[in-house]
Amino acid sequence: MGDTVLRFALPSKGALEQPSLDFLAAAGMKVYKPNRRQYSASIESLPDVTVLFQRASDILPKVAEGSADIGITGLDVVSEGRDDHEPVVVIETLGFGRCELVVAVPDSWVDVSTLADLADLSLAIKATGRDMRIVTKYPNLTREWFYNKGIVNFALVDADGALEAAPAMGYADLIVDLTETGTTLRENRLKTIEQGTLLRSEACLIGNPGALLNDPKKLEVTRRILEFIEAHNRAHKFVSVVANVKGISSEDVGQRLVEQPMLSGLIGPGLTRIHPRDTTGTWYEVNILVERSLLLDVVEHLRGLDGTGISIYSPDYVFDSACHIYDRLRRSLESAEQRLK
């Protein structure tokens, strides 16, 4: 490892561990961890970064207290604990680890399928002399959501083991938990209710505003990380199309290509003179970067110009004129700085 400038916390286990490593590797930031038992690692393309492995639930407080500068965790973790760790900023959602925090009730509650039904049930249970019992690992989100929905007759039960078993074991009436596909809920004879989603979660990158504001080196390394992430994610939307097109001149070929502006690249086609093996005419290599959804339209457009040798490449990165994630981060840091004063 080089001299550490930035401490980057990653999940050490659980559903986000391998997807986080895969995501960073795909974006050109492969994490090197020679021994699985180690709790630190390095990134060859970012020698001044030290990776620290922590439980996903611990990454938010670690970033908040400053023992890590940035980290990847779940948006659910951040949303649940944000009031206790207010200075932390969400830099960017990352598009993997998607799941939902939902209300799930027993299948046997055939008359309970909507939020209104659940509200009525809470009143019915209250009439028996007790509150509706909800077991969850997300008490803050659950309490706020139910209050906002006008349901106040409930009691939160401490989570003990697998939440899905709580209604069957009799120590809770319903659960609020994360689900990715709903399979585990169905296997435990639970169902979600309409309008019963509290949060749509995914992996996110978070940062300590004080650490980044007070150290230009940390901020610069963070910018480099965000450049990699944004350019890699942006590349998914585009393909590079290369073809050979015959024409009188580069102006002639270019003019025919831009007759359909959406199919002629982000700004316009790149043209390079080809020196053919015979003298059958003047040829140009055309290079166009287009949105992936337009690929077949571009191929047909080139065929209409007697294009040949049409080849498609997927770029690893597509950098824009500026890093928009970094620009948003700077604005978030400025807002955080005002709050911290």
Residue 276 has pLDDT above 50, yes or no: yes
Which of 200, 221, 254 is the C-terminal boundary of a domain?
A: 200
Question: Domain tally for the chain?
Answer: 3
Question: Could you tell me the pLDDT band of residue 204, with boundaries at 50, 70 and 90?
Answer: very high
Note whether 223 and 88 are same-domain residues: yes
Secondary structure percentages of the chain, helix, strand, coil, to 5:
40, 30, 35
Say if 82 falls within a structural domain.
Answer: yes
Q: Residue 83: which of 136, 138, 140 has the closest Cα?
A: 140
Q: Phi and psi at residue 217, in whole multiples of 5°?
A: -65, -40
Same domain flag for 177 and 124: yes
Determine contact, residues 122/154, Cβ cutoff 8 Å: yes
Q: Which residue has the tokens 């009031």?
A: 83
Q: What whole-number distance in Å separates Cα of residue 167 and Cα of residue 50?
A: 44
Convert the pLDDT of each residue in 238-257 to its tens digit.
999 999 999 999 999 999 99
Is residue 217 located within the same domain as residue 72?
yes
Q: Which residue has the tokens 């597509």?
A: 318
Q: How far apart are CA 266 and CA 289, in angstroms?
A: 6
Whether 110 is in a domain gets the answer yes
Among 91-105, 137-151, 158-172, the least confident range: 158-172
pTM recorded for the entire structure: 0.89
CA distance 34 to 268: 46
In a domain, 259, yes or no: yes
Single out the residue in 140, 173, 200 at which a domain terminates.
200
39 and 51 part of one domain: yes
- What type of residue sits at position 126? K
CA angle 109, 114, 119 (to 5 degrees): 85
Q: What is the mean pLDDT of the chain?
A: 92
pLDDT tens digits for range 88-141: 999 999 999 999 999 999 999 999 999 999 999 999 999 999 999 999 999 999
Is 1 inside any structural domain? Answer: no
Question: What is residue 240's three-state secondary structure?
Answer: strand
134 within some domain: yes
What does the pLDDT look like over 303-318, one tens digit per residue? 999 899 999 999 999 9
Pairing of strands 40-43, 49-54: antiparallel
In this structure, the answer to whether residues 284 and 162 fall within a common structural domain is: no
Q: Looking at the structure, tell me whether residues 282 and 184 fall in a common domain.
A: no
Helix segments in 66-177, DSSP class H: 75-81, 115-127, 139-148, 166-169
Residue 52 sits in a domain whose CATH number is: 3.40.190.10
Q: Answer yes or no: are the C-beta atoms of 91 and 162 closer than 8 Å.
A: no
Q: State yes or no: pLDDT of 1 exceeds 60.
A: no
pLDDT band at 280 (very low <50, low <70, confident <90, very high): confident
Token pair belonging to 120:
């009525």
Residues 226 and 333 in one domain: yes
Structural domain that includes position 55: 6-97+202-235+322-340
Give CA–CA dist 170/175, Å, rounded. 12
Rg (the chain; Cα; Å): 27
Question: Are residues 108 and 136 both part of a single domain?
Answer: yes
User: Does residue 254 share a domain with residue 242?
Assistant: yes
Task: Count Cα atoms within 13 angstroms, Cβ side, for 211.
Answer: 23
CATH number (domain holding residue 244)? 3.30.70.120
Same domain, 283 and 336: no
Residue 56 DSSP one-character state: H
Sequence-ordered list of residues with C-beta below 8 angstroms from that of 122, at least 6 positions apart, any chain: 131, 132, 151, 153, 154
| Same domain (yes/no): 112, 42 | no
Measured in degrees and rounded to the nearest 5, phi and psi for residue 307 equal: -70, 150
Shared domain for 90 and 209, answered yes or no, is yes
Is residue 283 assigned to a domain? Answer: yes
